[in-house]
Amino acid sequence: MAMLQFFIAVDVTVVNVALPSIGADFGVDGRALTWIVVGYTITGGGLLMLGGRLGDVLGRRRILLLGTALFGAASVLAGLAPTFAVLVTARLLQGAGEAIALPAAMAVIVLMFPEGPRRSRALSVWAAVASCGLVLGFVVSGILTELFGWRWIFLVSVPFILVVLTAVVFLVPSERPAGSTSLDLPGAFLLVAAPLLFTLGVVEAGEADGTPPWLPPVALAGAAAAAALFIRVERRSRNPLVPLRFFRNRPRVLANLATALLSAALSTSFLLFTYYLQDRLGAGPLRAGVTMLPLAVSLIAASVLVPRLLGRWGARACVLTGIGFTALAMAAIALVSSLGAGGPAMVPAMMLIAAGMGFGLVGLQYVAVTGVTEDDAGIASGVQRAADQLGGATGVTLYVGVGFAPALDGTDPFLASSLLAIAGLVAAGGVARRISMPVR
């Protein structure tokens, strides 16, 4: 399960350093390249709750095999893509594979370990592997793009995906399906459409040339309509993606809201690191990737410390600590950019981001799956992952899209993006303070 988590997490960030090379090969601009990053996370995040429901209804082992196989096939398609349109399609399919596989994988882990120290340690390993995958994606991307070409950032995971498929067949026990149950396909469609339309509206609003003036407001209005319609569909559906009883668990709801706000800032920081190293300082793929290595090392150290503190401090204290570290990191990014310092000056901000991920996401994941049963383990894990990915994608779209918009010409885009992220983190802290959980 951890191996699958690692390579899926790698694919969230592995394209960032390789974007200039991909754009040069296919002759596309930065606006089009945005969809390679955001399209994957939005499709994956939007379909995660459907994936969680599929695992609960059809059996986690079966869905785990299906999602993993789809992710592996899409990775091959991305690595061999002859055109940019095929590459974007492959990225969307990778997101769909992730959405099907990961809720089942996390549900297997949650049901293997009872609540308490054992589950805390298991989820800490799970979160640490995911975070390391996100961070090492930058390093792997730099090395492979520099030495072998960008196509290998996708092809390198294929042998390991085959190992995961083999291991699932022999190690994960089969289950009896829950029976024939209708699935909320309209809800799943609307959950993907809303953030995609929101992204389209924000990205196109920042473009001065070639964009019809009516497109951004129409896209944003469509996003709001899709979100409102999603809530209505969920209320009327016999088998909604998110049953209304899910929202009766107040700590769980608050944890997912705080996850979205924290992930928005964390994902924004990754892109700001890449832009600063490559665009502002002119570093190549390999140098940019290696410069971000301290982020991975710091994250491993945080993952060792957090499980011990989670039991002593309680989940809420760990979450607030992680949010505080992330806010300090965003302030450090703004300061380094304002001073025009070199790449090593970003290392403290990277270490703070690692601490923010280690403390914040582990604590929030623990709260988000507290009290789950066989009936709702997949839904709980799917909602938590969806909040993580959709929050990250929305944060990149909003914070970076507004911060780097031509309308703010003359303002340091790194400062503007960082201030927006800090405002979101203040809101996340307010939400996290209202989470009531026992200390142990």
Average pLDDT over residues 54-61: 80
Instruction: Identify the domain boundary among 216, 238, 260.
Output: 238
Q: Which of 119-125's residues contact partners 24+ apart within 8 Å by CB, and which partners?
A: 119/366, 120/307, 120/310, 120/311, 120/366, 121/307, 123/362, 123/365, 123/366, 123/369, 124/303, 124/306, 124/307, 124/310, 124/362, 125/2, 125/303
Cβ neighbours, 10 Å, residue 236: 9
Q: Is the pLDDT of residue 375 over 80?
A: no
Kindly tell me the sign of the dihedral angle through the C-alpha atoms of 275, 269, 353, 145: negative
User: Between the ranges 95-109, 243-257, 373-387, where is the mean pLDDT highest?
Assistant: 95-109
**Residues 17 and 278 sit within 8 Å (Cβ to Cβ):** yes
Pair of tokens at residue 144 = 């492979």
**Residues 403 and 287 sit within 8 Å (Cβ to Cβ):** no
Same domain, 83 and 214: no
Same domain, 416 and 275: yes
Domain-embedded: residue 438: no
> Exposed, middle or buried: residue 77 (CB in 10 Å: 0-12, 13-18, 19+)?
middle
Same domain, 219 and 344: no
Distance CA 1, CA 49 (A): 18
**Residues 194 and 147 sit within 8 Å (Cβ to Cβ):** no
Reduced to 3 states (helix: H, G, I; strand: E, B; else coil), residue 248 is helix
Same domain, 346 and 405: yes
CATH number at residue 152: 1.20.1250.20
Cβ partners under 8 Å of residue 281, min gap 6 = 342, 343
User: Between the ranges 53-57, 276-280, 416-420, where is the mean pLDDT highest?
Assistant: 416-420
Pair of tokens at residue 236 = 């009327």
Q: Is the pLDDT of residue 439 over 50?
A: no
Domain-embedded: residue 278: yes
Instruction: Write out pLDDT tens, residues 156-171.
Output: 889 999 999 999 999 8
Domain-embedded: residue 178: no
Same domain, 167 and 263: yes
Q: Is the pLDDT of residue 308 over 90?
A: no
**Residues 272 and 264 sit within 8 Å (Cβ to Cβ):** no
Helices 117-147/250-274 angle, 10° precision: 20
Same domain, 248 and 191: no
Pair of tokens at residue 328 = 């300090």
Domain-embedded: residue 179: no
**Residues 19 and 137 sit within 8 Å (Cβ to Cβ):** no
Count of domains observed in the chain: 2
Domain-embedded: residue 214: yes
Provide the pLDDT confidence category of residue 203 given band limits of 50, 70 and 90: confident
Helices 84-112/30-58 angle, 10° precision: 40
Instruction: Identify the domain boundary among 218, 238, 258.
Output: 238
**Residues 403 and 413 sit within 8 Å (Cβ to Cβ):** yes
Same domain, 283 and 336: yes
Same domain, 110 and 234: no
Instruction: Identify the domain boundary among 196, 212, 238.
Output: 238
Provide the pLDDT confidence category of residue 407 given band limits of 50, 70 and 90: low
Domain-embedded: residue 137: yes
Distance of CA 242 to the CA centre of its chain: 19
Instruction: Write out pLDDT tens, residues 313-334.
Output: 777 888 999 999 999 999 999 9
DSSP state of 174: P
Q: Is the pLDDT of residue 403 over 50?
A: yes
Q: What is the reported pTM?
A: 0.81
Provide the pLDDT confidence category of residue 389 given band limits of 50, 70 and 90: confident
**Residues 122 and 128 sit within 8 Å (Cβ to Cβ):** no
Same domain, 227 and 252: no
Domain-embedded: residue 367: yes
Same domain, 350 and 230: no
Which comes out higher in pLDDT, residue 132 or 23?
A: 23
User: Tell me, what's the pLDDT at 440?
Assistant: 46
User: Tell me, what's the pLDDT at 97?
Assistant: 92
Average pLDDT over residues 139-161: 88
Please choose, from the candidates 366, 343, 144, 136, the residue with its C-alpha nearest in 3D space to the C-alpha of residue 259.
366
Please choose, from the candidates 351, 355, 330, the residue with its C-alpha nearest in 3D space to the C-alpha of residue 264.
330
Same domain, 190 and 312: no
Domain-embedded: residue 437: no
Same domain, 298 and 408: yes
Structural domain boundaries enclosing 209: 184-238
Distance CA 249, CA 354 (A): 29
Reduced to 3 states (helix: H, G, I; strand: E, B; else coil), residue 266 is helix
CA atoms within 13 A on the CB side of 362: 36
Q: What percent of the chain has pLDDT over 70?
A: 92
